[in-house]
Chain A
Amino acid sequence: GAVVSQHPSWVICKSGTSVKIECRSLDFQATTMFWYRQFPKQSLMLMATSNEGSKATYEQGVEKDKFLINHASLTLSTLTVTSAHPEDSSFYICSARVQPRDEQFFGPGTRLTVL
């Protein structure tokens, strides 16, 4: 149990385009999901907390208009990187909170490369 999937696993896009990343909880319902960004050889930096049915809570310094998060169902959260630029290239990972132990399990990540 507690399987989290992400799609796509990698994406290459041109500068200025938008990219949508999906995060799904496959065998459980997740009222809360989290989106992280990880640069090479660095730690995971929380971008935002995604709550089903409500607006996401963004961490300080994260542009909410650039990184759009939607958590429309108990098994799906999406992150859209709008007007992507090369500096947005990174490894984006989602996680989902699993009850009742309140553990957090991660998706496999999405490697975004913006040309």
Chain B
Amino acid sequence: GENVEQHPSTLSVQEGDSAVIKCTYSDSASNYFPWYKQELGKRPQLIIDIRSNVGEKKDQRIAVTLNKTAKHFSLHITETQPEDSAVYFCAARLGGGGTSYGKLTFGQGTILTVHP
């Protein structure tokens, strides 16, 4: 099955700095890579995603890059704000069908703290 590794486990930055979180995946058949933000005790919220036919995607201060050859993808947050503080999870989804189609394999999570 798929295995996703996420680094770093914790990340502390000053407000206004950039933050980068990296993930690697094991199965080259994975074709969808979402990123979720989870605040304490709340649901994970989809913040950005990328599909395997695209190398980069940007949405305001958030961007994701994908390197299929190296099997890694990264989340970039620019001009960080204290409200960006949360746990961020990357995930990967295998392509193909079957009864478990669509299931995501999550990374271990990164606790991001943005200091004012």
Contact = CB atoms under 8 A, between A and B. Distances in A.
Do the two shown chains form a genuine complex with each other? yes
Interface of A: 32, 34, 42-46, 49, 51, 54, 57, 91, 93, 97, 102-109, 111
Interface stretch (B13-21, B39-47, B56-64): B39-47
Nearest to A93: B43
Nearest to A111: B41
20 contacts: A32-B101, A34-B103, A34-B104, A42-B108, A43-B109, A45-B106, A46-B104, A49-B99, A49-B100, A49-B102, A54-B99, A57-B99, A93-B44, A102-B102, A103-B34, A104-B46, A106-B36, A108-B43, A109-B41, A111-B41
Interface of B: 32, 34, 36, 41-46, 49, 89, 99-109
B109 A106 contact: no
Contacts, number: 52
Chain B, interface SS category: loop
B102 A109 contact: no
A57 B103 CA distance: 11
Contacts of B45: 106
Contact of A42 (B34, B105, B109): B109
A105 B44 CA distance: 8
Contact of B42 (A43, A46, A105, A108): A108
A90 B49 CA distance: 27
Contacts of A97: 102
Contacts of B43: 93, 106-109
Given A104-B46, A106-B45, A32 B108 contact: no
